[in-house]
Amino acid sequence: MTGDTGGLISWDPPRTARVHLVCVPHAGSGAYQFRSWQPLLGPEVSLLAVQLPGRENRWREAPATHMAEVLDALVPELLSRLELPYVVVGHSMGALLGHQLAQALGTRHGRWPEHFIASAALPPDEPFPPSGVSGLDDAELVAELVEQGAIPADVARNDRLVRLVTRPLRGDLAMCDSYLPTAGTPLPCPLDVWRGADDLGVSHDGVQGWSRHCAAATTFRTFPGGHLYHLTDPRSVVGELRRIVTGTRPRGGPPDV
């Protein structure tokens, strides 16, 4: 780990990078899932992973329960780290948080992303779908996460690990419950919308409304797998990200020569 400012983590960013990839994780997860992505992205991309409080290296902190809390802390951190053009990818809750980050950076500071990738999420002007797990006790919640493939099965047999997993997840679920659907300013950059073919909660028809939130081109793609498809086949996902990010040029700027 070579860069950690609290809400952002990077691992061995290449000195030759010409674009940042800001990765925003799904509910209950953390930045470390993106650690293996940096070497796969190549020498032109510097990965910045969002780390929410209450998990991994921030486990001593209380989890956030409202997106406004996260934005207030994260926007200044991002502004201090974004010395290059940037692309945002967010998964599920992370797509909505990433969209709000892009809105804040763009409308308040004139720093719109060069590309936005919304993964496994309905459009931001629609309510976040009910999780169906907020009423479960810790054991039931962990069992559901194991079944989804979000955590290893041996976590369920360790009480300390169960607490480390369920505490941030319950904070994130509260954040989802308090989410206020909002359209915002249409993104002035290209938008990719991804989903897993077997994701029943985020259907093909359900994601089409994302095109309302983009003033540029919108592209839809379906990957094999369910809601957490990016964990089951990360190389395919990162390969597509690399193709998009390395093809990014600053909007209105000259072509590479």
Residue 67 falls within a domain, yes or no? yes
CB 75 within 8 A of CB 6: no
Q: Report the pLDDT averaged over residues 174-198.
A: 93
Q: Do the domain assignments include residue 253?
A: no
Residue 256 lies in a domain: no
**Does 103 fall in a domain?**
yes
**Mean of the pLDDT values across residues 244-253?**
68
Confidence band, pLDDT 50/70/90 cuts, at residue 28:
confident
Poorest-confidence range of 19-28, 105-114, 147-156? 147-156
Range of the domain at 128: 3-246
Residue predicted with more confidence, 97 or 256: 97
Q: What is the mean pLDDT of residues 15-33?
A: 94
Indicate whether 30 belongs to any domain. Answer: yes
171, part of any domain: yes
24 is a domain residue: yes
Tell me which H or E stretch contains 144: helix 138-148
Q: Tell me the CATH number at 45.
A: 3.40.50.1820
Give me the pLDDT at residue 142, please: 80
Question: Cβ(210)–Cβ(193) under 8 Å?
Answer: yes
Strands of the 8-10 sheet, one edge to the other: 3-4, 8-10, 45-50, 19-24, 86-91, 115-119, 191-196, 218-223
Query: Rounded distance, CA 47 to CA 12, Å?
Result: 9
Domain tally, the chain: 1
Question: Residue 200 has what pLDDT?
Answer: 86
Predicted TM-score (pTM) of the model is 0.89
